[in-house]
Amino acid sequence: MVASLVYLVAYSWRVIGGLTGTANVVVTLVIGATWAVFIVDYLVRLSLARNRSAWFRSHLGTLAIAVIPVFRLVLLLQALTHVPGMRPSAGTRLRTQIMVYGIGAGILLIYVSSLAVLEVERRAPDGNIETFFEALWWACVTITTTGYGDFYPVTAPGRLIGVAVMFSGVALAGIITAALASWILERAARNNDDAEPATRAQMRQLLAKVDALGGRRPEDVDGGPDDGPD
């Protein structure tokens, strides 16, 4: 978490401050060092895994954090997924996590993409994104796939950043919309669940209760020991 925060602060300072000379070299070294921490951590974890291919497939999030270290900060939002005094169902808990992490990742993506596109476009001969606020506006309209066209990247790296932001925006919008739709359907069916099909877990619980009743002794069912005929 600390390394991710240091990376974000240093990167923001370099881009927004337009550092040059010694300050730029120092900040760039800090960025490289913190980034190397995540890369080395990922490679060590991968090398120590017994089944590397299975570990790789199950830890794509770790790979994303190694590539873009600031996404590690999304995990700080875990505290917002717990509501004091409530015991939500598994579905509600999952939807809450999707909403919180999705919105947090979207905000970080907007901020980081603004910095990245400003860094590559600011010194381009035909560039039109010259300030952080212009880059922030571009990131907002791009991630929502609005695309006003008043600001746009002209360099190849800037366009690659734009493609990544567009696809990420579509993915985040789809995930958040699905979570909202699921929550609305659950709320609508809360008091009308007679027609809802039983889940496998509910069937297993019911069968377990039936088996438990079938295994009881007659006197347990009648309420006391058998004292013989009246």
- CATH number for position 160: 1.10.287.70
Confidence tier at 193 by pLDDT (50, 70, 90): low
Q: Which residue has the higher pLDDT, 122 or 184?
A: 122
Do residues 132 and 16 make contact, with C-beta atoms less than 8 angstroms apart? yes
Longest dimension (CA), the chain: 106
Please tell me the predicted confidence (pLDDT) of residue 74. Answer: 76
Number of domains in the chain: 2
Q: Is residue 137 pLDDT above 90, yes or no?
A: yes
Q: Is residue 112 part of a domain?
A: yes
Domain shared by 52 and 26, yes or no: yes
How is residue 81 written in tokens? 């997924």
- Structural domain range at position 130: 82-191
Domain shared by 130 and 39, yes or no: no
Q: Is residue 226 pLDDT above 60, yes or no?
A: no
Q: Is residue 201 pLDDT above 90, yes or no?
A: no
Please tell me the predicted confidence (pLDDT) of residue 40. Answer: 92
Per-residue pLDDT averaged across 194-218, rounded?
Answer: 69
Please tell me the predicted confidence (pLDDT) of residue 98. Answer: 79
Domain shared by 53 and 87, yes or no: no
Domain boundary, last residue among 30, 45, 73: 73
Q: Is residue 22 part of a domain?
A: yes
Q: Is residue 107 part of a domain?
A: yes
Q: Is residue 138 part of a domain?
A: yes
Angle of helix 60-67 relative to helix 21-48, nearest 10 degrees? Answer: 160
Q: Is residue 223 pLDDT above 70, yes or no?
A: no
DSSP 34-79: HHHHHHHHHHHHHHH-SSHHHHHHHTHHHHHHHHSGGGGGGGGGGG
Beta-carbon count within 10 A of 228 CB = 5
Domain shared by 101 and 149, yes or no: yes
Q: Is residue 116 part of a domain?
A: yes
Per-residue pLDDT averaged across 8-32, rounded?
Answer: 88
Q: Which residue has the higher pLDDT, 91 or 203?
A: 203
Q: Is residue 132 part of a domain?
A: yes
How is residue 199 written in tokens? 């889940």
**Predicted model pTM:** 0.71
Domain shared by 94 and 182, yes or no: yes
For the stretch 86-135, pLDDT in tens is: 555 666 677 777 777 888 888 888 999 999 999 999 888 888 998 999 99
Domain shared by 97 and 182, yes or no: yes
